[in-house]
Structure formats: structure tokens, C-alpha cells
Chains A and B, each alone.
Chain A
Amino acid sequence: MRYEYLTGNIAIAEASITSGLRFYAGYPITPTSDIFEYLARELPKYGGHVIQFEDEIASINAVIGASWACSKAMTATSGPGFSLMLEALSLAVITETPLVVAYVMRTGPSTGVPTRSGQYDVLQSTYGFHGGLVIPVLAPSTPQEAYDLTIKAFNVSEKLRTPVVLLSDAVIAHTYGKVAMREKGEVEVVERSKPSVPPSEYRPYDPVDGLVPPMACFGDGYGVLVESLTHDERGYYSPRTDSQRKLMWRLYRKIAESAGQIFEYSSLYLDSCDVALVSYGSTALSAQVATKVLRERGVRACSVKFKTLFPVYEEGLAKLLEGVEKVFVVENNTGLYYRELRGVLKDREVVSVPLIDLDVPPPQEVVEVVSKWL
């Protein structure tokens, strides 16, 4: 392990190399481009490839192809680019293609304020693509978390054969911090499971005894079908209700039933807490500082920072916040993740603290809003 002083964006790039990234395709966009530039310089040293395509649509499709050729593959983008990637993300979901999208949020809608921050795309990151399923979304709030969660994003994508979104924002992108960098062997790096049967018996979408089918890649000697139509275990088109039910529920369950394994959070003062400030991403920094100010004023406040946002770990969340009377959801948007949480935490008061700010919201503003609702 060694320590470096990195921005959130460079931490993502470094961690992707640690995770075994071998293919990056992208189209430049603020505030994400330095991931691209850094990898263009560094990844070839590890035998990897970096390609700029004509747009984000081509980029994500190339990433899907690279993953099927057994390369760990990633792209990085921001709001307008992610919108273009949505159709192909749906393809990645039904073809169960492991890949990582680093989504560095900026102020929207549309081109908004391209260089500044916000958390407007938290729901789009998982619900944006068509088909009604959820993809895992991880949300760092510091360069160290950007590093650690990027590795986790690759591991989850390989383990569950799914696209994973690493949801950062413009503040974290250019925040510097001390980052503990892991060397090979110091951190778990998951590789996708490969078929154990001979090629003649291999069925590419047969989960065998679990929910995730072993994945043969092009060149492994197996017959591989990358099918976007509703398919059976062989990968053959099957326009039947029973096939659709079977496929949809397996794709749903493999993510939903992993919620507890994926879920990660950190907290301050949770063991003596009446009022929880729940937050994520760069806004979690404001919530942490606000929590300390509130405690100095005698409020039994705690802060809970979610490092993973989807799938929502419903039982876990309810249990985590068991003794808490009131939950404030602090975020830099109109109160989007609050809508997820109020359904999960039905038995107590959940208050939205939507602070729209081009930068990290000032902790004092969090204190003022929360104090009004105590």
C-alpha cells in the first residue's frame, strides 16, 4: 500500500487499473474528461486499450463488446452522455454484460452549468434505461471512497454479470485527498465465473445452481450468443410469457437478493442518535459537519453516509435506523433519494432536505434547515 494525493477522478482511473481494467472507450465531457486523459496515458502501460469514439453511444457499445471479449471494460461520462448511453445499458442488462460506468454528475438539466456540481441524476443512474430493472449504483464522497468503490464496482459487475454505475459528482471529481492505494494482492479483485462444462453442454444463460450464469467469452471455445431479445437458457429468442417471467424474475432477483452484500455505509454517533442526517456523495460531507454542529448545540444527531444507493437494502436500512426518531435526507437536488427512503422507513418521520447548490452545500445551511424541522 502507498499513499498518494489524488482527485476523485484520478482515484477512479487508478482504481480501475487496480481492478484489472483493459478497455476504456469514451467521449470527452466535463467534468469527467481527466479520467479519460489519465487512462489514455496510463492504461497502455498495462497492456490495455483506450479509444475515443464518435459519441457516447458508440463508446458504451464498444465497452459491451470488449467485455464479451473478456476484457474488464469501463466508460466515464456525465449527464448528457449518460442519457445517450441508456439504450445500450439496457442491452448490457439483458445480455448480462459486466461493465462499469463512472458517472460524474454535473449541474443539469441539459447542459445546465457544465463545470459545476449537483445530484440531479441519482434516480436516472439506475432507473434511466428501459426495461424496469435496477442496476447497482455506488456513490463515493471522497477521493479515497472513489478509489475503494471503483474496485467494488468492478467486483460487483463481475460477480453479478451486470453493468454498475459509480456515481460521483463534480465536487468529488476535483477534490484532492489522501488515498491509500492498494497493490496487487492487497485487495480482492473478482473475476467472472467461467463455465465448468464442456462446450457441447454449455448454455450461456443457464444460471446452473444460482442466479448468475457462468460467462464464456468470445475466444474461449464456447458457443456464445449475445441476445437482446427475450431468450431462454440457450440464448434463443423465446417470445413467450413463461420465458419472459423466468428471465425477468432472475434478472430482478440476482440484483435484489444481493442488496445486503452490496450495501455499504459509514456513520458518526449512530449509537446515541435521535435525529439522523442521511446523505450521500459530496453532500454527505456537509451533512457530517452539520451533524457535529448540531451535537455541539445539544441535539442527539448522527450522520449516516450511504456509499451504495441501489439496490436499496430495505430490511437493512430499517434496522440500521431502528432507534432513530427522525430521518433527514440531505441531498443536492429536489429531494430525489428521499422518495426512495420514505417508502422504506414508513414507521417514522422522514424529512427531505433538498439543497440546490452549484457547489457542496454549506454545512451551516444544513444546520439551519434541519433546526427548523426538529
Chain B
Amino acid sequence: MRIEILIAGRGGQGILLLGHILGAAIAKYTNLHVLGSEIYAAETRGGDSRVDLVVADREEEADFIKVVRADIALFMHQLQLDAYESLVKDGALVFIDRSNVTSVPRRNWRVYIEPYTDIAEKEVGSGRVANVVALGHLVKTTSIVSPEAVEKAIAETVPKEWVDLNIKAFRYFLAR
């Protein structure tokens, strides 16, 4: 088993944090191996943010740090969807934030499109946790790692005062 995961959005959307939580959950609490890399722009907000993860059950299969053909992708913004669409293979599971994306390319993907940012703002209480709302959807749908492992990783990664809010955001899709 070897899975490439691409997570992309704009600076400020919490893409790197999302990638770190997912990578840490896989590395620390599963038998899977993982390598990952980050790309981010110099500006704090607005530029490209991207996390690539290569996950495999055998160490020698977790052999590269960049996505070549993504099996799973999460796009939090139209700009990065347009920029990195070509890295996503046919048949991939693709999660899209409808709050920031108006046009989805016609590709042979299994698309899950939900308004993650609107949900975070209106249902969870802060637009800042849209990333973790999306992570909950991705984890529920793909079962790549258990929700318990992700919640542990959230608690270890996020500053204390924000843990409860992030757990609430993460459980939004899991509870549905």
C-alpha cells in the first residue's frame, strides 16, 4: 500500500498545521510509514501553502517527499485547485472547500465538496478551524488513520487554549 496525499490552499488557511496533524497522527499512532514536505510563500497570508505526504505500509515504499500522482487531495482554495489539479490522478478522492471554490474541473475524481469555511464559521464558531473541519471529513471518508489518533495529534500540536475548538471542528463530519 502506498498513498500520496496533497493538501493545498492559501497562506493563513492552516494548511501546514493540517498537514502536520495528519502526518504526526500517522507517524506516531499507526504502523504506517510517512514522509512529507511543505511549501509555503514568504508572506504570512495569501501565498501558496502546500503539504505533500507519502504514506506506505512498508518503509521502502515511503520513498519520496513530493506528490507525483495524488491518491487523495484536499483543496481549500480555487487558486491551488487550479495550480495543482494536474498532480491528482484519475480515481482520486478529492475534497474541496466549496466556500472558496466556484469551479471544479471535469475530471474522473470522486469529489467531496463541502463548505468547510462556512461550516467552521457558522456551526463550529470560528472560520480559523475550517482546516480541521476538512480534516475530519477526509479522515472519516478515507479511514487512513483513526479519529482517536488524530485527536491525540491535535492535542499535542495545537496550543492548549485552542484544543477544544479544534476537536469540536474535527468531530463535525465524524458525528454525521
Contact = CB atoms under 8 A, between A and B. Distances in A.
A and B together in one complex: yes
Given A177-B34, A177-B36, A5 B63 contact: no
A13 B12 CA distance: 29
A104 to B, nearest CB: 15
Interface string B35-55: 111100000000000000000
A5 B65 CA distance: 14
A165 to B, nearest CB: 23
A176 B37 contact: yes
Number of chain B interface residues as a range? 20 to 34
Contacts of B63: 285, 288-289, 292
B10 interface: no
A285 B35 CA distance: 11
Nearest to A289: B64
A178 interface: yes
A171 interface: yes
Interface string A1-31: 0011100000000000000000000000000
A363 B64 CA distance: 9
Interface in B12-51: 20, 23-24, 26-28, 32-38
B36 A175 contact: yes
A177 B38 CA distance: 12
A172 B16 CA distance: 17
Nearest to B37: A175
Number of chain A interface residues as a range? 20 to 34
Nearest to B65: A175
A177 B37 CA distance: 9
Contacts of A268: 60
A168 to B, nearest CB: 14
B66 interface: yes
Contacts of B65: 171, 175, 282, 285, 360
A287 to B, nearest CB: 10
A5 B19 CA distance: 11
A21 B20 CA distance: 28
B66 to A, nearest CB: 7
B68 interface: yes
Contact of A5 (B28, B64, B68): B28
Given A268-B60, A363-B64, A175 B35 contact: yes
A174 interface: yes
Given A285-B64, A288-B64, A289-B64, A5 B27 contact: yes
Contacts of B33: 178
A142 interface: yes
A360 B34 CA distance: 17
Interface in A318-374: 360, 363
Given A268-B60, A285-B63, A177 B27 contact: yes
Contacts of B32: 178
Interface string A276-304: 00000010011011001000000000000
Given A174-B37, A176-B20, A177-B36, A4 B27 contact: yes
Interface string A154-180: 000000000000000001001111110
Contacts of B36: 175-177
Nearest to B53: A176
Nearest to B28: A3
Contacts of B66: 360
Contacts of B34: 5, 176-178
Nearest to B33: A178
Interface string B55-76: 0000010111110100000000
The 8 closest A-B pairs by CB, nearest first: A178-B27, A5-B27, A5-B24, A176-B36, A177-B35, A175-B65, A288-B63, A289-B64
Interface of A: 3-5, 142-143, 171, 174-179, 268, 282, 285-286, 288-289, 292, 360, 363
Interface of B: 20, 23-24, 26-28, 32-38, 60, 62-66, 68
17 contacts: A3-B27, A4-B28, A5-B20, A142-B35, A174-B37, A174-B38, A176-B36, A177-B27, A178-B32, A178-B33, A178-B62, A282-B65, A288-B63, A289-B64, A289-B68, A292-B63, A363-B68
